[in-house]
Amino acid sequence: MVFSSLLFLFAFLTLCYIGYAFCPGIKSKNILLLAFSLIFYAWGGPALVILLCLMTFICYLGALLIEKHSEKRKLFLVLTLVVSLGILAFFKYTGFFLTNLKFLFGFPETIPSITLPIGISFYTFQLISYVIDVYRKEVRAQKKYWLLLLYASLFHQCIAGPIVRYADVNLELENRSVNKDEVSRGITRFACGLAKKAVLANGCAAIIKQILPDNNGDLIKTSASALILSAILYMLQIYLDFSAYSDMAIGMGLMIGFHYRENFNYPYIASSVTDFWRRWHISLSTFFRDYVYIPLGGNRVSVPRHIFNLFVVWSLTGLWHGASWNFVLWGLYYFVFLVMEKYVFRVSNRQIHGVARILRTVYTLVIVCFGWIIFYYTDITMLGTALKGIFTLNGNAFSDESVRIVLINNILLIAVSILACTPIIPAIGRYFERKRVASQNKPALALYDFSTAIVPVCLVAISALALVGDSYNPFLYFRF
């Protein structure tokens, strides 16, 4: 089950939140949320729930032992991390490791097919952050297993993030309240995320499918303009798709009193690669910062050691995204640019304006766009073909008539998608909100209140129409 499905919208979420409203106390509300969360996760296969419960129990027990036996706390931390990461590695990297082993040495003859459990990377990192925070004495160990399971399995964010720290929600697990303003903001946020996914992200994906072949033979002949357009569309799609999931998760949380941190801050207006990674997938970036980069010494070390620390972080970041060499290459690609910005270009973090800001944003967008090309092609041969084709090194043409027609036919969708990647629309909303607060004109106030109430309804209706007949349209980050 996915957020962007009619079943989820009009059956699962509706029943869950109606039931939640009628539950008499926080314990019964949490039990209801846990039941619905496990049903949501089990939709992809009942066995997946057993693994989730097992991983949660391992971290639950590990945290209790860390807190109870202070003299052996490091031992219990290491054991918990080894087991948790070992399970993740087994499901995610066994096939990758054996495939490379067979390529180098000719064995094993048969490589087992291991299905990657949906969301395992996200909930494993959440549980690991909980255990480490207990070890650091930043939070107390949760004594109730079922509450820790609720934290790990909560359907808002279990499958594709954001990676929610236990410290951010531990108080709200047992003591939270709901107010009308937050419910309204949550509904609007959810509706905006749904529209971003169902209309814009899925629309960009449909155009890519129309112009980009899925085999290397046809890719060689693809024009450079088609490859460039598809790269730009994928850059739009992956942001709109992933940020839409975060919007919907944050919105659903607000509706019932959970406050999840922001996961995106308009990364495509960044003025450097460093700035981009402060804005993109913030929950993952801060996870690696707090649990890998800083423990390694961060930037308070010698230059060679700092470069090594960055190398470790970005190698792991690439591998986290998938068991494929293109993801490793993608991580190291950003490692190179971050090191260059720090020690070669010496890019400053100070605010810049005017032409300098525009030029640096264009530079960042070009780097990021090429990065998404590396990210998109899990087949290294096709990746090489695509990169060569952009510069017409495959003997391919620079442009063709079909690309021009596709662009003209979809120009409105592309323009709106670009606009949705910027803070312009929220800025307009804040402007009218300020006008509303300052205004004493009752008809104007009534019109504003009506518009803010009707916009989410219209967005959900438009999204529902876009989803009719589209039985399964998973979010891109489900596979990680």
Specify the DSSP element, H or E, that contains 149: helix 145-153
Neighbours of 35 (CB within 10 A): 13
Indicate the SS3 state at residue 241.
Answer: helix
425-to-104, 241, 371, 399, 462 alpha-carbon distances in Å:
53, 18, 27, 33, 18
Q: Which of 348, 354, 353, 386 is nearest to 369 (CA)?
A: 386
Q: Which of 250, 252, 249, 257 is nearest to 178 (CA)?
A: 257
Q: What tokens does 263 get? A: 């996961």
Decide if 263 contacts 281 (C-beta within 8 A).
yes
Q: Which two tokens stand for residue 310?
A: 């960055």
> What gap in Å lies between CA 354 and CA 391, rounded to an integer?
31
In eight-state DSSP terms, residue 115 is P
Catalytic residue among 156, 281, 321, 353: 321
Tokens of 191: 């509706």
- In sequence order, the 6+-apart residues with CB closer than 8 A to the CB of 455 are 188, 191
Compute the 3-state secondary structure of the chain and give helix, strand, coil in percent, each to the nearest 5: 75, 0, 25
Cα-only R_g, the chain: 24
353 annotated active-site: no
Catalytic residue numbers, as ranges: 321
